Structure 1
Amino acid sequence: MGKILIVDDDPVFLDLLGAFVSENYPLLELVTCSKPVSALSIIKEGGLDLLVLDLEMPDIDGAKLFNFAVETGMDPKRIVILSGRDSDYLHANFPLGTCLAVLNKFEVKQKAVLEMVFSSLNRKAEARQDVDAKSK
């Protein structure tokens, strides 16, 4: 299964995104966290296929969580940064190649990119499920 952690301090956005993933990508194991501090132990535990972080959060912002995840061994190409800021700001602070994607969470076209990422993980989980079924 593809394990995803989504960290966002906006409970409405977190609930909407969590419900969307659960309804449309049933093979993905979804963990949501509205408190960045609570996400630290989940990140440290490892085993995440994708980490989706809100950039602007109290206590620990997304940039600090990103750095923590990378320092604990997570591949930065498995991390997506979300923000309400414009794309110029985001790309200046997270240049191409820094992580999988940096997306404005309110732009429809950029939501499509996130959907492509979820879809890809779901297909990989489906393929793993098929391999497991055949090996039994």
Structure 2
Amino acid sequence: MKRVVIVDDSAAYGDLWSSFMKERYGNEVGVETYSHPYDALPKIDDAIDLLIVDLEMPGMDGKKFVDYARQKGIPARRIVVTSSHSAEELHERFKIGETIAVINKTDPKQQEAFLMILDSVMKKS
């Protein structure tokens, strides 16, 4: 089973993606959602197959959270950052290689790319 962790201060967004992944991948995925970054910190370890982090969160922004996750052993190829900022702004904040992707969660084309990433992660053994 693949372990996916979603950290987003919007509980509705976390629930939406959790439901979507369970429907799309069934028993192949275990999804953990956290609406506050500090609740997720103790759960971050290198056993996570995919970490999805919102950039704008109260208390700790997504950039700091990603830095922490990388220190805990999660490779960049397992981290996706989401935001409502434009792709250009996101690429300015995150250099190539810091994450597998930075996704604007309101852009349909970006969402398609996100689905391809999800499918790729789920296919890896």
Residue 22 of structure 1: aligned partner: 22
Structure 1 gaps of 5+ residues are 129-136
Q: Which has the higher contact order (CA 8 A, sep 6+)?
A: 1
Summarize the alignment of residues 53-68 of structure 1 with structure 2, pairs less than 5 Å apart: 53-68=53-68
Aligned residue pairs total 124
Deviations 1:32-88 (A, max 9, x none): 111110110111x43101100000000111111100001111111210000000111
Return the alpha-carbon distance in structure 2 between the equivalents of residues 31 and 14 of structure 1: 9
Output the TM-score relative to the length of structure 2. Answer: 0.93
User: Any runs of at least 4 consecutive aligned residues in structure 1 with deviations exceeding 6 A, and if so which?
Assistant: none
Does the residue aligned with 1:4 lie in a helix, a strand or coil? Answer: strand
Residue 93 of structure 1: aligned partner: 93
Residue 104 of structure 1: aligned partner: 104
Deviations 1:72-123 (A, max 9, x none): 1111121000000011110011122221000101111111111112212222
Structure 2 gaps of 5+ residues are none
Preserved CA contact (<8 Å) 1:5 1:31 = yes
Return the alpha-carbon distance in structure 1 between the equivalents of residues 59 and 46 of structure 2: 22
Residue identity matched to 1:18: S
Does the residue aligned with 1:25 lie in a helix, a strand or coil? Answer: helix
**What is the root-mean-square deviation of aligned Cα atoms in Å?**
1.2
Return the alpha-carbon distance in structure 2 between the equivalents of residues 115 and 14 of structure 1: 15
Residue 6 of structure 2: aligned partner: 6
Identity of aligned residues (%): 37
**Quick check: 1:49 aligned with 2:49?**
yes
Higher helix proportion: 1
